[in-house]
Amino acid sequence: MILTYIGIFLVSVGVLFLFLGALGIVRMPDVYTRLQAGTKATTLGALGTIIGVGLIQPEWFWKTLIIAIFIAISNPISSHALARGSYKSGIKPFLKDDDGIDTYADVEDEEVDR
């Protein structure tokens, strides 16, 4: 019984963070900052909802745990691939003022292609 309540709590927190992630995607100025909001908030959101479901239905718990581990590993990798792909296709990051720093711009393309 107590597990059900913890599960419901986790699912609610997860849904809240998923919502904040979506809000971040609307409000942020460029693709990289949107990825920041997208990856972080959706990781905790997805972990919360999935493990919460596992606690509400205890016989699913181990399955949900394995799915959560896969998400925790694959989510940052996909966001890295999206960020790197956007940069290589020529999207410059949004910088607040002229002296904003972007060290990746100095990297030669051949170096990146290794």
Partner 1 sequence: MSRFLFTFLILFVAWLGFTTSLHPQELITGAVVSLIIAFVAFKTFTDFGLSFFHPQKIFNIIKFIAVFLVALIKSNFDVARRVVLPSLPINPGIVTYKTELKSDTAKVFLANAITLTPGTLSIDVIGDELFIHWIDVISTDPEVIFNEIGADFEKILKEIFE
Could you tell me which of 62, 58, 20 has the C-alpha nearest to residue 42? 20
Angle ∠(24,52,4) on CA atoms, nearest 5: 135
Axis crossing angle, helix 31-56 with helix 2-27, rounded to the nearest 10: 170
Site string for partner 1, 45-64 (x = CB under 8 A): --------------x--xx-
Is 9 one of the binding residues for partner 1 (CB under 8 A)? no
Structure tokens at 21: 């992630």
Check residue 108 and report its DSSP letter.
-
Phi then psi for 14, rounded to 5 degrees? -60, -45
Out of 2, 102, 109, 110, name the contact with partner 1 by CB under 8 A.
102
The answer to whether 110 contacts partner 1 (rule: CB under 8 A) is no
Q: What single letter denotes the amino acid at residue 56?
A: I
Of 27, 51, 89, 109, the residue at the interface with partner 1 (CB under 8 A) is: 27
Would you tell me which residues interact with partner 1 (CB under 8 A)? 17, 20-21, 23-24, 27-30, 32-33, 35-37, 39-41, 43-44, 59, 62-63, 65-66, 72-73, 75-77, 79-80, 83-84, 87, 93-96, 100-105, 107, 111-112, 114
